[in-house]
A and B are shown apart, each in its own frame.
Chain A
Amino acid sequence: MATIEYAANVEVELSAVATTLKIPAGVLAGFGAGDRFEIELDESGPSILLVADGRPFAIASVAKLDGRLVATVTEIVSNVDREGYEPWLIRKSETAKP
């Protein structure tokens, strides 16, 4: 059986999830070049969810520092209740074909 040390060396995929949206399939299918979703952020500003192999484990605030996007961990969580959905607005590209 592998020791904990060995297991600690196993790599997993870490993802930074900017937001989770609930989008009707038809809107998603019609989301073409130049179209954009606009999501209004609350007063705490932008944040991301860190997800390890599909499992959320931390929340981080995001800020631009020296022109770079930097996430600072604000909360380590085992059960993330942030998996709600953000309200969004879609703006269709004016140059997109109908």
Chain B
Amino acid sequence: MSQRTAEPHSAPAPQRYELWRPVIGSEDRGALERIHQELAAEWSRGPLERGDDGGAVAFEGFGFEDFGRFGKTIRAAQIAFLAIEDTPVVGMLMLGIDLARDLVDTRLGAPAPAEGTPVSFSPLESGLLHQVLNQLAERLAEVYGREGIGKLKVTRVGEQIDDLRLFAPDDCLIAFRFRVGEKGSALRLSIATSLEMIELVKKLAGASRPAPGSQAVARIVREIPVRTRVILGSWRVPIREIAVLKRGDSIVLPDGADAWLEADGVRLGRVKIGIDRRQLTVEARRGKSSRVR
């Protein structure tokens, strides 16, 4: 598969921060990044799997962009229009022209067109791309479904970004950008969704956050006093030996190197005991695990 170099306009230029842009918390941002990294891995194993090295799909990140500006940075061959059932979230999955051409060339064995040649696709090629786009959308639906975002469906496939007039030029979108191949590769695909996606992710993050009261419970649990005995050693003896024990009798004790902590009959961990006239020290022993039972 040939690798092309990204054209200058394929990467968005830095934007001035505007106050009206939405704010997303770090936890929600992390969740979105993780989900789309997982999606990139799914695509790499499935519809965009390539035999050669460096062909994996990489998630490049996401950002907020006006629909108008976003449309100018995207050169899409085919677009799947998406909706998440029972939510206001709508969006698009866009197969970049260079990636589309590359897929067609690879799968149909056609020679790559010369640089600068206008890119167009025959009905057969368009059919192939449609099939790939559906496979990509299926994997996207699987990941979103698995992550609890919702049930994603493709409402239509088109070739122009404003085919469905889903968004007005000033509408702010969340744009997720992916590339196939090494950094700088022109083989690109993108997802853009309405901002309500953030609300869905917030609900997800909320579900995994501890309940408001649980921190208080955890604090209480941490403060529960545990009656802990420091055991220097133990051994089995017949009752008759205990029965004759009297004041002044002596017992040689273990040296304290192999003692343990015990709470309510449960051994908690091995310790080393140091005894002198004024102080007793109980030191947790080093080792793979101090828990014994």
Contact = CB atoms under 8 A, between A and B. Distances in A.
B280 A18 contact: yes
B223 A41 contact: no
A36 to B, nearest CB: 4
Contact of B230 (A7, A13, A19, A35): A19
Interface stretch (B4-12, B148-156, B187-195, B269-277): B269-277
B290 interface: yes
B19 interface: no
Contacts of A35: 283-284
B234 A8 contact: no
Interface in A13-72: 13-26, 28-29, 31-41, 45-46, 48, 50, 52, 54, 57-58, 60, 62, 64, 68-72
Given A22-B225, A41-B279, A16 B240 contact: no
Q: How large is the interface on B (under 10, 10 to 19, 20 to 34, 35 or more residues)?
A: 35 or more
Interface string B192-218: 000000000000000000000000000
Q: Which of the four size classes fits the interface of chain A?
A: 35 or more
Nearest to A66: B252
Contact of A14 (B221, B236, B263, B286): B236
A70 B238 contact: no
A48 B253 contact: yes
B237 interface: yes
Contacts of B234: 13-16
Nearest to A37: B282
Contact of A10 (B221, B224, B226, B238): B238
Contacts of A20: 227-230
B256 A69 contact: yes
Contacts of A64: 275
Interface of A: 7-26, 28-29, 31-41, 45-46, 48, 50, 52, 54, 57-58, 60, 62, 64, 68-76, 85-86, 93
